[in-house]
Amino acid sequence: MTCRRKWIQISIIAAIMLVLPFFFPSGYYYRVGALVFVNALSVVGLVILVGYAGQISLGHAGFAGIGAYACALAPTHLGLHPAVAILLGALISAALALLIGRPILRLKGYYLGVATLGFGILVSMVLSNERALTGGPDGMSVPDLGLRSLLRDMGWRISGGEFWYGLNAVVLLIGIWIALNLYQSATGRAMRALHGSEVAAQTVGIDVPRIKLQAFVISAVYASVAGSLLALQNGFITPEVAGFMHSVEMVTMAVLGGVGSVLGATLGAAILTLLPQVLTVFAEYEQLVLGLIMVLVMIFLPRGLLPSIVAKLRGRGE
Amino acid sequence: MKLTTALTTLMALGLATGAGAEIRLGASLSASGGAAFLGDPEAKTLEMLVEEVNAAGGINGEEIVLTLYDDGGDPNKARTFATRLVEDDEVVAIIGGTTTGTTMSVLSVAEDEGIPFISLAGAIQIIDPVRDYVFKTPHTDRMACEKIFTDMQTRGISKIGMIAGTDGFGASMEAQCKDVAGDHGIEILVAETYAPQDADMTPQLTKIKATEGVQAVLNPGFGQGPAIVTRNYAQIGLDLPLYQSHGVASDGFIELTGVEAAEGVRLPGTALLIADILEDGDAQKPVVMAYKTAYEAKYGEAVSTFGGYAHDAFRLMVDAIARAGSDDPDEIRDALEETRDLVGTTGIYSFSADDHLGLNLSAFRMLEIRDGAWTSID
Q: Residues near B23 by Cβ (< 8 Å), separated by ≥ 6?
A: B58, B59, B62, B63, B64, B65, B92, B321, B327
Residue A316 confidence (pLDDT) = 55
Q: How far apart are CA B350 and CA B358, in angstroms?
A: 5
Q: Which is higher by pLDDT, B260 or A147?
A: B260
Name the amino acid, one letter, at A313.
L
Count of domains observed in chain B: 2
* Rounded Cα distance, A83 and A291, in Å: 38
Q: Which pLDDT tens digit goes with each residue over B206-247?
A: 999 999 999 999 999 877 889 999 999 999 999 999 999 988
Q: A14 exposed, middle or buried (CB, 10 Å; 0-12, 13-18, 19+)? A: middle
pLDDT at A283: 66
pLDDT range class, residue B7, cuts 50, 70, 90: very low
Chain A residues near residue B87 by CB distance under 8 angstroms: 26-28, 161
Q: Is the pLDDT of residue B13 over 50?
A: no
Q: How far apart are CA B134 and CA B153, in angstroms?
A: 34
Tell if the CB–CB gap between A240 and B167 is shorter than 8 Å: no
- Residues B206 and B118 both lie in one domain: no
pLDDT at B192: 92
Claim to verify: residue B344 and residue B371 sit in the same structural domain: no
Is B12 in the same domain as B76? yes
Q: Which residues of A touch B84 (CB under 8 A)?
A: 28, 31, 277
Nearest to B88 among A28, A235, A283 (CB): A28
What percentage of chain A exceeds 70 in pLDDT?
A: 97
Which helix H or strand E contains B136, and what residues bound it?
A: strand B134-136
Instruction: Please indicate whether, in this complex, the C-beta atoms of B101 and A276 are within 8 angstroms of each other.
Output: no
B370 bridge partner residues:
B373
- Please identify among residues 234-263 of chain A the ones whose CB lies closer than 8 Å to any CB of chain B: 234-238, 240-241
Same domain, B157 and B301: no
Sequence-ordered strand ranges (E) for chain A: 140-141, 236-237
DSSP calls for B3-72: HHHHHHHHHHHTS---SS-EEEEEEEE--SSTTHHHHHHHHHHHHHHHHHHHHTT-BTTBEEEEEEEE-T
- Per-residue pLDDT, B223: 77
Assess whether B218 and B367 both reside in one domain. Answer: yes
For B11, the closest chain A residue by CA position comes to A281
Q: Which of residues 25-54 of A touch B (CB under 8 A)?
A: 25-29, 31-32, 35
What is the reported pLDDT for A318?
43
CB contact under 8 A, A278 and B4: yes
* Domain annotation covers residue B282: no
pLDDT digits (tens, 9 = 90+) for B266-292: 999 888 888 888 888 888 999 999 999
Most confident of A229-233, A276-280, B247-251: A229-233
Same domain, B129 and B78: yes
Mean pLDDT over each residue of chain B, to the nearest integer: 88
Tell me if the bond preceding B268 is cis, omega within 30° of 0. Answer: no
**Confidence (pLDDT) at B104:** 85
| Confidence class for position B19, pLDDT limits 50, 70, 90 | very low
**Residues near B157 by Cβ (< 8 Å), separated by ≥ 6?**
B186, B215, B216, B241
Cα angle B317, A235, A138; round to 5: 70
Is the Cβ pair B7, A281 closer than 8 Å?
yes
In angstroms, the separation between the Cα of residue B84 and the nearest Cα of chain A is 5
B167 contacts in chain A (CB < 8 Å): 137
Q: Do B105 and A230 touch (CB under 8 A)?
A: no
Taking the CA atoms of B161, B165, B166 and B172 in sequence, report the sign of the dihedral they define: negative
Q: Is the pLDDT of residue B20 over 80?
A: no
| A29, A160, A234 member nearest B75 (Cβ) | A234
Task: Please report the pLDDT score of residue B11 as a whole number.
Answer: 47
Same domain, B12 and B132: yes
Interface list for A 52-91 with B (CB within 8 A): none
Contact B337, B114 (CB under 8 A): no
Chain B residues whose beta carbon lies within 8 Å of the beta carbon of residue A131: 171, 175
Whether A236 sits inside 8 A of B104 (CB atoms) is: yes
> Nearest to residue B100, comparing CAs of A138, A240, A235?
A138
A-B Cβ pairs (cutoff 8 Å, strict): 89
How large is the ipTM? 0.71
Instruction: Supply angle C-alpha A102, A174, A47, rounded to 5.
Output: 45
The answer to the question of residue B352 being in a domain is: yes
Q: Which residues of A touch B105 (CB under 8 A)?
A: 234-236
Q: Do B1 and A238 touch (CB under 8 A)?
A: no
Contact A281 B104 (CB under 8 A): no
Q: How far is B277 from chain A (nearest CA, A)?
A: 35
| Statement: residue B151 has pLDDT above 80 | yes
Beta-carbon separation of A137 and B168 below 8 A: yes
- A31–B4 C-beta distance less than 8 A: no
B235 and B367 assigned to the same domain: yes
List the domain range (segments joined by +) for residue B11: 2-140+287-362
Angstrom distances, CA of residue B363 to CA of A38, B264, B271, B350? 44, 22, 8, 12
Mark whether B58 and B115 lie in a shared domain: yes
Query: In chain A, what residues touch B74 (CB-CB under 8 Å)?
Result: 240
Percent with pLDDT over 70 in chain B: 95
Q: How far apart are CA B194 and CA B200, in angstroms?
A: 9
Distance CA A265, CA A251 (A): 10
Residue B34, pLDDT above cutoff 60: yes
In a domain, B73, yes or no: yes
Q: Classify residue B359 by its DSSP letter.
A: -
Looking at the fold, whether B244 and B118 belong to one and the same domain comes out as no
Q: Do B262 and B195 share a structural domain?
A: yes
Query: Is a pLDDT exceeding 80 seen at residue B343?
Result: yes
Judgement on whether residues B178 and B128 belong to the same structural domain of the protein: no
The CATH number linked to B318 is 3.40.50.2300
The CA distance from A213 to B148, in Å, is 55
Distance from CA of A173 to the nearest CA of B (A): 23
Contact (Cβ atoms closer than 8 angstroms) between residue B192 and residue B162: yes
Backbone angles phi, psi at B248, to 5 degrees: -115, 15
Domain-located, residue B281: no
Per residue in A102-156, pLDDT tens?
Answer: 899 988 888 998 999 999 999 998 998 887 788 777 778 888 888 888 888 887 7
Residue from A236, A272, A285 to probe the interface with B (highest B Cβ count within 10 Å)? A236
* Closest CB to A141 among B7, B76, B104: B104
